[in-house]
């Protein structure tokens, strides 16, 4: 039996620059902004972005919902390609079942 994979705990987010003093990508800052939006709106992040960003921009086929995107990708993988050869359906269906959960 295999041991479960170890989960990596990210380091704490630290502020090391004064706001506005320098531009630098901040994954931690993005996480804090995401949490603030979720806390303030009382809605899941994908829903907030769909209503406030994607919808107003007319981006009806875009999503921030990772599970929804993965399901759409797997759904496309299950279609019969133009050459008529069926895809590895059993594998794709197993992956789809995992994403949908119990």
Backbone angles phi and psi of 55, in degrees to 5: -60, -55
Cβ–Cβ under 8 Å, residues 68 and 46: yes
Write down the pLDDT at residue 18. 86
Q: How many CB atoms lie within 10 A of CB 67?
A: 12
Tens digit of pLDDT for each residue in 72-89? Answer: 666 666 666 666 666 666
**Positive/negative CA dihedral, 43, 47, 51, 57:** positive
Share of the chain above pLDDT 70, in %: 67
Share of residues in the chain with pLDDT > 90 (%): 21
pLDDT in tens, 25-56: 777 778 888 889 999 999 998 899 999 999 99
């Amino acid at each position: 039996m295999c041991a479960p994979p170890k989960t990596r705990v990210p380091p704490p987010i630290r502020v090391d620059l004064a706001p506005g003093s320098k531009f630098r990508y901040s994954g931690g800052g993005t996480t804090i902004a995401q949490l603030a939006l979720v806390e303030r709106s009382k809605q899941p992040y994908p829903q907030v972005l769909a209503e406030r960003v994607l919808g107003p921009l007319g981006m009806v086929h875009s999503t921030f919902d990772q599970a929804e995107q993965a399901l759409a990708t797997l759904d496309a993988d299950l279609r019969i390609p133009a050459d008529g050869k069926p895809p590895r359906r059993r594998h794709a269906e197993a992956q789809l079942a995992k994403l949908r959960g119990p």
